[in-house]
Amino acid sequence: NSVFARKSSHLYYVHSLDLLCCLSKCVASRFEETVICSVERLRVENFVLVCNCYSHTSHDLPFSCHFLSEMHSLKYFQLRLCSLHPSWRSQRNYSLQTLYLSEVTVSSGAVECVLSTCSMLHTLRIVNCKCPSKLRIRGIDLELKTLDVSACEDLEEIDFFAGNLVRFDFFNNRETVNIVFNHVPKLECILLKLGSNLEGSIIERRVLGKIEEDLPYLKSLIIVIIEGDSLEV
């Protein structure tokens, strides 16, 4: 849909590439390898891939974390309307800085695989996705600084072990998610967007937890009520 190329050091780079496609499951694996080769050859830096079909729901079209590890030129990647699965044959990716998952079915272990594969990832957004019940934000020497988890189905708990995380944004309007801050020593800012149908006692126990002990350097805690006038906590 959109391509912008520039020349640097006598080599051509594609700055931005938006690709809207309609696929069947039988060609998904072949398409994945084709995209990897094309992105690498064109040295794409910002890539948006949307798997959208009007005739059927395409969330089941599978992509693996290997898909990320092979595109070494990427700095920004947005993936929409498909499913993401872990791959233990993934190589290290030292270029990807921002990953945005939107309307993606996230398999168990996929986020952990992404965090271990993309060692320079600074920003992770998971929006309107179907997630496993427990989301583990952890990894060896994790560089992640900003995390946004919004309106995700089936999510019951977020477990943190992220030594460089600075900002955490969270939105949930239906069910209360247990947030466990195991190790986030640099976390400074938390933004919670919640629905008025959630009970204040549950939020205090499961969301806020032991903030005084777990988050010694917290500077900003903002709670926004999406619907209604007030929430007693």
For 104-143, what is each residue's pLDDT tens digit? 999 999 999 999 989 899 999 999 999 999 999 987 789 9
Backbone angles phi and psi of 111, in degrees to 5: -65, -45
Rg of the chain over Cα atoms, rounded to whole angstroms, equals 19
Residue ranges and CATH numbers for the domains of the chain are: 16-226 (3.80.10)
- Per-residue pLDDT tens over the stretch 31-49: 777 888 888 888 899 999 9
Q: Is the pLDDT assigned to residue 28 strictly greater than 60?
A: yes
- 3-class DSSP state of 138: strand
Q: Mean pLDDT score of the chain, rounded to an integer?
A: 82
Q: What is the predicted pLDDT for the residue at 27?
A: 67
pLDDT grade, residue 197 (50/70/90)? low
Q: What is the predicted pLDDT for the residue at 56?
A: 47
